[in-house]
């Protein structure tokens, strides 16, 4: 097999900032260099290797996958918001379309927080082929009647079993989110280069609140942890990650969920799948035996989340992003899919311009 170093010698690279030219001239793809099931430690690359790695990543367009290898015990559900449903017969069309050929029960309803808005809500799902077939079909059903916009969101719910019953795992999640919130936000913007307009009201940053709770950590029962969440994070449906649906005494996992509220709206199934994978693996890592308190505590110390500013989340923080990828993912496929969406062709948002970035997904 040809080594990565040998391939580098035969590859002509362009400057990664030149988005209008191909990044390399031969036919090698990113996974020829970095096999999908291998786990390279990208945050330890030297500058030369890192530059080459980023260039081949930037040449790759995300594709829809058959599976994302999320633990099958972990359930999730999604809310797809969209606008411009112009007439009642469009809502009738949506509901009729969702009633045909689907094993799972998806529901369409109006969303009064949007302009002529609607949303489609999934049932509880798991990582299986039927889920991804239906997700793509739902997005195809939406496209003739509605669009995502700089106002729409895409929420994801995960059953609380993804974190488990150990209170320490919940504090691990707080640490992880606080350490990398500015990376999480830019990734969650999806095709856009900045947050949707309603984020300050409905999905605000919470790193500062999390640090306050971490600093006051004591031996707590799971009930006490959940009660603390409600006190610390305040108003319902106002934060980027919401614990409002957690009810310790309730065993019904489909209703007892963590809600990820920060993602921008999209009707691209590839972005949806990538979001579900990233946040699912982020949450799974909080209960992992590989959770690295030392690295994450040091990242919190370096970043000082109490000084975070929402506009600064539009920037690229490469060191933090590589570190996060190496922490939560155990294979190159996941890491590269995460980084491709996070880097967004290395484009940065400029005020008074179109917030939509250049595409990084393969057109079906």
pLDDT tens-place string over residues 196-251: 999 999 999 999 989 988 887 666 777 888 788 877 776 667 899 999 888 766 55
- For residue 83, the cross-strand partners are 147
Write out the two tokens for 201. Answer: 């009201």
What is residue 1's predicted lDDT score, i.e. its pLDDT?
38
117, 152 contact by CB (below 8 A): yes
CA 182, CA 313: separation in Å to the nearest integer?
5
For the entire predicted model, the pTM comes to 0.90
Dihedral angle, C-alpha 41, 59, 17, 323, nearest 10 °: -20
Element (H, E) at 169: helix 167-188
Q: Which residues contact 145 (CB under 8 A, 6 or more apart)?
A: 84, 85, 86, 90, 93, 94
**Domain edges within the chain:** 4-57, 76-346
Q: Which residues contact 87 (CB under 8 A, 6 or more apart)?
A: none
| Class of residue 176 by CB neighbours under 10 A (exposed 0-12, middle 13-18, buried 19+) | buried
pLDDT exceeds 60 at position 98 = yes
Q: What is the largest CA-CA distance in the chain?
A: 61
Q: What is the mean pLDDT of residues 95-122?
A: 89
């Amino acid at each position: 097999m040809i080594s990565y170093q040998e391939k580098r010698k035969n590859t002509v690279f362009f400057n990664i900032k030149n988005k209008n030219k191909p990044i390399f001239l031969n036919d090698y793809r990113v996974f020829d260099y970095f096999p999908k099931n291998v786990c390279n430690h990208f945050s330890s690359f030297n500058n030369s290797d890192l530059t080459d790695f980023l260039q081949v990543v930037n040449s790759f367009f995300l594709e829809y996958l058959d599976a994302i290898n999320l633990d099958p015990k972990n359930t999730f559900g999604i809310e797809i918001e969209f606008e411009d449903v112009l007439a009642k017969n469009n809502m009738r069309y949506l509901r009729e379309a969702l009633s045909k050929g689907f094993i799972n029960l998806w529901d369409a309803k109006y969303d009064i927080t949007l302009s002529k808005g609607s949303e489609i809500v999934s049932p509880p799902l798991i990582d299986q082929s039927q889920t991804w077939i239906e997700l793509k079909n739902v997005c195809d059903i939406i496209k003739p009647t509605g669009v995502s916009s700089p106002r729409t969101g895409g929420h994801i719910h995960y059953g609380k079993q993804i974190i488990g019953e150990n209170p320490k795992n919940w504090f691990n999640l707080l640490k992880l989110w606080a350490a990398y919130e500015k990376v999480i936000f830019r990734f969650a913007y999806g095709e856009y280069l900045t947050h949707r307009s309603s984020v300050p009201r409905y999905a605000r940053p919470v790193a500062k609140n999390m640090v306050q709770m971490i600093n006051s950590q004591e031996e707590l029962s799971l009930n006490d942890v959940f009660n603390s969440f409600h006190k610390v994070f305040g108003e319902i449906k106002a934060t980027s990650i919401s614990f409002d649906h957690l009810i310790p005494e309730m065993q019904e996992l489909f209703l007892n969920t963590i809600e990820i509220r920060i993602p921008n709206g999209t009707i691209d199934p590839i972005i949806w799948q990538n979001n579900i994978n990233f946040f699912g693996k982020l949450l799974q890592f909080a209960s992992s035996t590989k959770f690295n308190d030392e690295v994450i505590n040091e990242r919190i110390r370096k970043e000082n989340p109490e000084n975070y500013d929402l506009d600064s989340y539009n920037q690229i923080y490469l060191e933090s992003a590589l570190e996060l990828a190496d922490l939560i993912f155990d294979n190159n496929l996941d890491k590269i899919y995460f980084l491709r969406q996070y880097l967004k062709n290395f484009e940065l948002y400029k005020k008074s311009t179109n917030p939509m970035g250049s595409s990084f997904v393969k057109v079906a």
